[in-house]
Amino acid sequence: MTITLPGPLVSTAWLAEHLGQAGLVVVDASWYLPAMNRDPRREYLAAHVPGAVFFDLDAESDHGTDLPHMLPPPDKAAAALGRLGIGSADAVVVYDGSGANLSAPRFWWQLKVLGHDRAAVLDGGFQRWSAESRPTEGGPTTRSPARFEARFRPELIRSFDQVSAVVGDDSVALLDARSPGRFEGREPEPRPGLRGGHVPGARNLPYARLVAGDGTMLPRVELLERFKEAGLDLDKPVITSCGSGVSACALALALEIVGHRRYAVYDGSWAEWGGRPDAPVQAGPA
């Protein structure tokens, strides 16, 4: 059975209606900042959407670098998806428990980088699912291994050198999802050894400003207003970044929703840029 997703977002009602159908895989991709003092795997084992498998972002990142959460080589990333039970023909719905789309969009973006468009983020995530008293289950869920074939899309990802090449280039927009304090250099970075501030010329739009109080994504017209308030020119291609390439994907998701598909994610983000002495840094407001 072929599952047709309504777009890059699906509602809790949509997921409840289609839950358990063949060809649909639900993924809990929760991940949290250390300061949040939350254990995503433990929370998953306590309660998750029935049938959901757990994706461990830390475990499945590239361990050949000292940078956090870097995308593994396409063949290794595809193999990890196959072990989860995700096949190339499957539709995927991913969520997290943050209530603000902290990490679910990262998994959605990874699928897109690997050439898989049949994926969507659960609007409102597990927080909304639970608030509506929808069914949950505990313990681990496993699926039979599947074959996932990667079709790598390098245009959706940017490296340090690629970002360096566009600093000062007015034809490309840079958008940072970190908090204003970190962006402006007023607050310390959570990772030791990183300078404060931002990539010169970048704009700032914290990822949490993309959602309403119930954790659902703002309507398209309000997302456009958020981009406008941040000073983003949507006539330009956009490179998104954050602390380690996770919440930057929430900006990518919002761009996808408003119809701006000329975006890419700087995978190393501030964990790389802020730690390199050869990288120029700007402090203060955008």
Query: pLDDT tens digit string along 177-227?
Result: 999 999 999 999 999 999 999 999 999 999 999 999 999 999 999 999 999
In the sheet that holds 24-28, the strands lie side by side as: 9-10, 119-122, 91-95, 24-28, 53-54
Residue 133: partners with Cβ closer than 8 Å, 6 or more residues away = none
Mean pLDDT in residue range 12-25: 98
CA distance linking residue 150 with residue 207, whole number of Å: 28
CA distance linking residue 118 with residue 286, whole number of Å: 35
Catalytic residue positions, numbered: 242
pLDDT digits (tens, 9 = 90+) for 146-180: 999 999 999 999 999 999 999 999 999 999 999 99
Domains and CATH numbers, the chain: 9-152 (3.40.250.10), 155-273 (3.40.250.10)
Is residue 265 a contact partner of residue 177, using CB atoms and an 8 Å limit? no
Is the pLDDT assigned to residue 1 strictly greater than 80? no
Instruction: Locate 226 and state its tokens.
Output: 């958020």
pLDDT band at 34, cuts 50/70/90?
Answer: confident
CA distance linking residue 231 with residue 250, whole number of Å: 18
Residue 118: partners with Cβ closer than 8 Å, 6 or more residues away = 3, 5, 89, 90, 91, 92
